[in-house]
Amino acid sequence: MTFQRARTDEQRSERRRQILATAAAMLTEVPVADLTLTALSRRVCLAKANVLRYFESREAVLLALLEAEVADWITELRSTEVPDGSAQERGDRLAALLATSLAARPVLCELISAQSTVLERNISAETALQHKRAVHGYLGTLVEVCGRHLPELGDEDAAELMRTVMLVAVAAWPGSRPPQAVLDAYAADPALAVMCIDFADVVRRTTEVTASGLLAREHQPR
């Protein structure tokens, strides 16, 4: 980056992208809880006050990054071809696609797992409104993606399936990343290792079961 102070809209947008890209890189090294505004400012080579010119808080930075990560994930999902097969076969393939694509995006998983407990705690009502509107829009797009794979569900059940996927991901991600002391306990007593969570497997199996249940309910007499 050649400019010192962002003076044009293009430069301000570039500075925002730089801040978000730096935060994303840091999240591959440390969890959300350890990513401080001070550390981010140092890494991006800006004073903390300058970072706050673009984002009102550390949490606002991470919410904006979350939105960007979700948008990229949705782009990937929308570019995937829908295979032929029965509804159950397509549901199982959708479950595998969602699980593997999420597991391949650790920054996204780290952010969604901290969204309600951390990221939404130090923001203004205006930022919260903007973020919730963005999330609502993304859910609508995920429903469309689900509908391409499982049109039998309809929008209401497709939305229910996608909400379940996201809730499971929120819970399963931290559980699949135990601290070193827990890993040492598993190593000391291998019988305890069954308690370790495989993130992709949990998301895939839960999505399969939920999709199957919704499809079965859809064909029950009203």
Could you tell me if 110 and 32 are in contact, meaning their C-beta atoms sit under 8 angstroms apart?
A: yes
Full residue range of the structural domain in which residue 97 is found? 63-218
Instruction: Express as a percent the part of the chain with pLDDT over 70.
Output: 95
Domain identity same for 84 and 23: no
Domain identity same for 123 and 169: yes
Stretch among 3-7, 11-15, 21-25 having the lowest mean pLDDT? 3-7
Could you tell me if 169 and 110 are in contact, meaning their C-beta atoms sit under 8 angstroms apart?
A: no
Domain identity same for 71 and 48: no
Query: If we measure between CA atoms, which residue out of 132, 135, 153 comes closest to residue 144?
Result: 153
65-100 pLDDT, tens digit each? 999 999 999 999 999 998 899 999 999 999 999 999
Exposed e or buried b for every residue in 197-221, given b needs 16+ CB within 10 A? Answer: eebbebbbebbbebbeebbeeeeee
Domain identity same for 32 and 127: no
Give the pLDDT score at 196. Answer: 87
Q: Rounded to an integer, what distance in angstroms lies between the CA atom of residue 200 and that of residue 101? A: 9
104-147 pLDDT, tens digit each? 999 999 999 999 888 998 899 999 999 999 999 999 999 999 99
Question: How many domains are contained in the chain?
Answer: 2
Domain identity same for 70 and 41: no
Residues whose CB falls within 8 Å of the CB of residue 29, separated by 6 or more in sequence, listed in order: none
156-186 pLDDT, tens digit each? 999 999 999 999 999 999 999 888 999 899 8
- Taking the whole predicted model, whether its pTM rises above 0.95 is answered as no
Domain identity same for 124 and 174: yes
Return the CATH number at 208. Answer: 1.10.357.10
- Average pLDDT of the chain, as a whole number: 91
The helix (H) or strand (E) run that includes residue 24 is helix 9-27
Residue 171: DSSP 8-state: H
